[in-house]
């Protein structure tokens, strides 16, 4: 019997949903309710606290753009941190790069384990966690960063929206921890929501990052799963050059890496920073 799933967005103003063939997994962890549905159109769908997080069908758009844009923006990324990312998609893409080490800090072990079991295309059936460059840490990233004080060339924040356990990841205190953890010339990347319907997410993150002395800028992507049009991803660094993509340099570095992508290209990287006027007005452009 088909299952109809409905997601309520932005208070109770908007609804979207899908029909699923089966509820593959459902469970409550100390942090959230986790569901994985099997669908004909989207493949497996990960839902946390009633909010769709990712699908097998279109996950590559978000994961590639939140990974390759910051890593190719950074001159020589050797040490990377992933905040969240329990489905494994960001880590899968990070490992395509010639890096020395990546710390993935995810608060909820259940998400990691059940995505390995039920959404193996996102994480190579768990093989990514056996890569010797990887340290998987099951802990609150806020606590981890306060204790460890490690330095990174890139910090990729793959979080849910700023509610519940993820709310602290959008705070001034957390951004300050990230700033202090960045190596000179390092880059911080984060998701800022669907800008047409969630303008305050990108407006506030850009304001906070700039207030603490970082250069910050948004770029845009379109992911079919996320209702409301383009979403913005934020990029911040202590140097403005990181935020000004050079197409010739991007093409050269991409050719040198010799790995495959489904969505990311150097040309798309460059174009994603060209925002319409209304987005520029919300995000503050390049500053």
Place of tokens 């409905």: 6
Taking Cα atoms as reference points, which of 258, 272, 217, 219 lies closest to residue 240?
217
> What is the number of alpha carbons within 13 Å of residue 253 lying toward its C-beta?
23
- Count of CB atoms within 10 A of residue 24's CB? 17
- Planar angle of CA 221, 31, 48, nearest 5 degrees: 40
Any catalytic annotation for residue 158? yes
Q: Give the whole-angstrom CA distance, residue 62 versus residue 178.
A: 21
Q: Give the whole-angstrom CA distance, residue 54 versus residue 87.
A: 8
> What is the number of alpha carbons within 13 Å of residue 257 lying toward its C-beta?
23
Place of tokens 């193996």: 120
169's enclosing H/E stretch is none
34: Cβ contacts below 8 Å, ≥ 6 apart: 25, 26, 27, 28, 46, 47, 48, 108, 110, 111, 114
Copy the structure tokens of residue 242.
């990181």
Catalytic-labelled residue, pool 58, 103, 140, 158: 158
Strands 101-106 and 43-48: unpaired
Q: Which residues are 105's β-sheet partners?
A: 83, 137
Q: What are the catalytic residues?
A: 158
């Amino acid at each position: 019997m088909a299952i109809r799933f409905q997601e309520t967005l932005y208070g109770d103003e908007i609804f979207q949903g899908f029909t699923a063939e089966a509820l593959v997994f459902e469970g409550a962890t100390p942090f959230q309710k986790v569901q994985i549905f099997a669908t004909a159109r989207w493949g497996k769908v990960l839902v946390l606290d009633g909010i769709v997080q990712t699908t097998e069908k279109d996950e590559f758009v978000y994961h590639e753009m939140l990974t390759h844009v910051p890593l190719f923006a950074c001159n020589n990324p050797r040490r990377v941190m992933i905040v969240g990312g329990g489905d494994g998609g960001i880590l899968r893409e990070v490992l395509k790069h010639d890096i020395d080490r990546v710390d993935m800090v995810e608060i909820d072990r259940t998400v990691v384990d059940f995505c390995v079991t039920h959404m193996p295309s996102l994480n190579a059936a768990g093989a990514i966690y056996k890569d010797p460059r990887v340290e998987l840490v099951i802990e609150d990233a806020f606590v981890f960063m306060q204790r460890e004080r490690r330095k990174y060339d890139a910090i990729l924040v793959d979080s849910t929206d700023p509610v519940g356990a993820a709310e602290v990841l959008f705070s001034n205190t957390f951004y300050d921890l990230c700033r202090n953890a960045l190596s000179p010339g390092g880059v911080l990347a984060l998701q800022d929501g669907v800008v047409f319907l969630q303008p305050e997410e990108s407006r506030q993150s850009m304001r906070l990052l700039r207030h603490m002395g970082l250069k910050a800028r948004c770029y845009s992507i379109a992911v079919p799963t996320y209702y409301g049009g383009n979403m913005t991803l934020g990029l911040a660094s202590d140097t403005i050059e990181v935020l000004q993509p050079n197409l010739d340099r991007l093409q050269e570095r991409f050719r040198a890496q010799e790995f495959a992508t489904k969505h990311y290209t150097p040309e798309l990287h460059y174009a994603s920073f060209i925002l319409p006027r209304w987005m520029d007005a919300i995000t503050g452009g390049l500053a």
